[in-house]
Amino acid sequence: MKKLLLSIFILSLAFHVIAQDKVEKALTAFPYQEIAKAQSSISSMYAFESAEWKKIFVRLDDDSLKLAPTYAIAAFVHDATKSASTKSTAATILLTGLSNVKSFYAKNFIIQHLGILGDEAAVKKLSKLLKDKTFIGQAAARALASIHSAASIAALEAALGKATGDQKAHIQAAIDNAKFVLPGLTSTPATPKPTLNSVQQLLKLQDRMQVAKDPIEKLRVLHQAEFIPGFTSLMFVGKFLDDDRLKKPAALIAARLALSDHTLRGRAVREVVEKALPLISGTDSAVLVKALAARAKSIPYDYGFESMFNGKDLTGWKGLVGNPISRSKMSSEELLNAEAEANGKAKNDWMVDNGLLIFTGHGDNLCTVKKYGDFEMYVDWKITEKGDAGIYLRGSPQVQIWDTSRREVGAQVGSGGLYNNKTNESKPTVVADNAIKEWNNFHIIMKGDRVTVFLNGIKVTDNVVLENYWDRNIPIFVKEQIELQAHGTYVAYRNLYIRELPSDNLTTRLTAEELNEGFESLFDGSNLDKWVGSKTSYIVKDGTIEVNPTGGSGGNLYTADEFADFELRFEFQLTPGANNGLGIRAPLTGDAAYVGMELQILDNEAPVYAKLNPYQYHGSVYGVIPAKRGYLKPTGEWNEETVVVKGDQVKVILNGQVILNGNIKDASVDGTADHRDHPGLKNPTGHIGFLGHGDVVRFKNIRVKRIDVAKKKK
CB 203 within 8 A of CB 236: no
420 to each of 241, 398, 432, how far by Cα in Å?
42, 6, 20
Confidence of residue 4 (pLDDT cuts 50, 70, 90): very low
pLDDT value at residue 284: 66
- Residues sharing a CB contact under 8 Å with residue 655, sequence separation 6 or more, in sequence order: 631, 632, 633, 639, 640, 641
Element holding 89 (H helix, E strand) = helix 84-100
Element holding 570 (H helix, E strand) = strand 566-574
User: What superfamily would CATH give domain 317-500?
Assistant: Exo-inulinase; domain 1 (2.60.120.560)
Q: Print burial letters for 216-251: b (CB count within 10 Å at least 16), e (below 16).
A: eebbebbebbbebebbbbbbbbbbbbeeeebbbbbb
Instruction: Name the H helices within 162-246.
Output: 165-179, 198-211, 215-225, 231-238
What value does the mean pLDDT of the chain take?
A: 89
Query: Which position has the higher pLDDT, 148 or 401?
Result: 401
Confidence of residue 714 (pLDDT cuts 50, 70, 90): very low
Q: Which amino acid is at 563?
A: F
Per-position DSSP letters for 650-666, written without gaps between them? EEEEETTEEEEEEEHHH
pLDDT value at residue 710: 45
The sign of the dihedral angle between the CA atoms of 334, 339, 344, 348 is positive
Contacts from 384-390 at CB under 8 Å and sequence distance 24+? 384/436, 384/437, 384/489, 384/490, 385/436, 386/489, 387/436, 387/489, 387/490, 387/491, 388/487, 388/488, 388/489, 389/359, 389/484, 389/485, 389/486, 389/487, 389/489, 389/491, 390/419, 390/485, 390/487
Of 81-90, 545-554, 581-590, minimum mean pLDDT range: 545-554
Is-same-fold flag (317-500; 512-713)? Answer: yes
pLDDT of 516 > 60? The answer is yes
pLDDT value at residue 8: 40
pLDDT value at residue 396: 96
pLDDT of 122 > 90? The answer is no
Model confidence over 165-212: pLDDT tens digits? 878 887 888 888 777 665 554 444 555 556 789 999 999 999 999 999
Q: Residue 398, preceding bond cis, omega within 30 degrees?
A: yes
pLDDT value at residue 254: 95
Beta strands in 410-555 (DSSP E): 440-447, 450-455, 458-465, 480-484, 491-500, 520-523, 531-533, 538-541, 544-547
pLDDT value at residue 247: 93
CA distance 583 to 554: 14
User: What superfamily would CATH give domain 16-179?
Assistant: Leucine-rich Repeat Variant (1.25.10.10)
Beta strands in 575-691 (DSSP E): 579-586, 597-602, 638-646, 649-654, 657-663, 686-691
pLDDT value at residue 189: 52
pLDDT value at residue 499: 95
Average pLDDT on 627-652 reads 95
- Residues sharing a CB contact under 8 Å with residue 21, sequence separation 6 or more, in sequence order: none
Of 152-166, 380-394, 414-428, minimum mean pLDDT range: 152-166
CATH 2.60.120.560 is right for the domain spanning 512-713: yes
pLDDT value at residue 213: 86
pLDDT value at residue 553: 56
556-563 sheet: strands from edge to edge:
531-533, 556-563, 686-691, 579-586, 597-602
Report CA 538 to chain centroid distance, whole Å. Answer: 22
Confidence of residue 6 (pLDDT cuts 50, 70, 90): very low
Model confidence over 477-510: pLDDT tens digits? 999 999 999 888 999 999 999 999 988 788 889 9
Q: Print burial letters for 109-118: b (CB count within 10 Å at least 16), e (below 16).
A: bbbbbbbbbb
Q: Print burial letters for 606-635: b (CB count within 10 Å at least 16), e (below 16).
A: eeeeeebeebbbbbbbbbbbbbbbebbeee
The candidate with the shortest Cα–Cα distance to 486, out of 372, 358, 379, 395, is 358
Average pLDDT on 272-280 reads 94
pLDDT value at residue 7: 43
CA distance 63 to 52: 19
Residue 351 backbone dihedrals phi, psi, to 5 degrees: -135, 155
pLDDT value at residue 569: 97
Question: How many other C-beta atoms are found inside a 10 Å radius of the C-beta of residue 25?
Answer: 12
Query: Which position has the higher pLDDT, 46 or 641?
Result: 641
Confidence of residue 712 (pLDDT cuts 50, 70, 90): very low
Q: Report domain extents, the chain.
A: 16-179, 198-304, 317-500, 512-713
Average pLDDT on 458-483 reads 96
Percent of the chain with pLDDT over 90: 62
